[in-house]
Amino acid sequence: MFCGNCGSKAVEGDRFCVTCGQAPRPASESVAVLVQENPGLAQPYQSAPGPPFSGKATAAFVLSLFWLGGIGSLVAIGLAGTAMSDIRRGTHSGRGLAITALILGICGIVIPFVIYMAMAHNISNQLSHVSDCLNTPTAPGCP
């Protein structure tokens, strides 16, 4: 058995603790008194609040989802870059969302560009075929 006041070893049946001189009380009762006197002890593993979430990262993510003719992607790339610098300084959190917005913004510029280039190449081939047919109507594949 241990003293509920000071925690030293106590002999069961003693009326007073040899170390602190107080009347011994059960350990469970002493913990309840400590928690009442010090409310911070009730939750000893609270984490410190972190930096606030970056609104720029959120806005960049939303804009990267809505292409808006490429403008949304360009603005998303800019906002994601500024959000990353805020996050690097430690003033905000949300690094994963800013990286996601940056990647989606870049994809929102590159993928349509590749599609447009493929379409332009296809149109160029068709115009070349029409030109060949106009110049030599007897060429194969001409109506």
Q: Are 126 and 72 in the same domain?
A: yes
120 with 62, same domain: the answer is yes
Query: Can you give the pTM of this predicted structure?
Result: 0.58
Q: 66 and 37 share a domain?
A: no
Amino acid 55: pLDDT:
94
Contact (Cβ atoms closer than 8 angstroms) between residue 92 and residue 83: yes
| Residue 54 token pair | 């970056």
> Between the CA of residue 48 and those of 45, 51, 52, 92, 107, what are the distances in Å?
9, 10, 12, 14, 37
Q: What is the pLDDT along the chain (143 residues), one digit of tens a residue?
A: 667 667 677 677 777 777 777 776 665 555 555 556 655 555 556 677 889 999 999 999 999 998 777 899 999 999 999 999 999 999 999 999 999 999 999 999 999 999 999 999 989 888 888 887 888 877 777 77
> Is 48 a domain residue?
no
Question: What was the pLDDT predicted at 53?
Answer: 93
**Closest by Cα among 98, 105, 47 to 74:** 105
Domain carrying residue 89: 55-135
Q: Is residue 79 part of a domain?
A: yes
Nearest to 79 by CA among 50, 58, 104: 58
Specify the pLDDT at position 128. 84
Is the domain of 64 the same as that of 121?
Answer: yes
Please state, in angstroms and rounded to a whole number, the distance separating the CA atoms of residues 126 and 118: 12
pLDDT of residue 131: 82
Which pLDDT value is given to residue 24?
66
Structural domain contains residue 63: yes
Q: State whether 59 and 104 are in the same domain.
A: yes
What pLDDT, on a 0 to 100 scale, did the predictor assign at position 46?
Answer: 63
Q: What backbone torsions phi and psi does residue 142 show, to the nearest 5 degrees? A: -95, 140
| Domain-embedded: residue 46 | no
In a domain, 140, yes or no: no
Residue 143: inside a domain: no
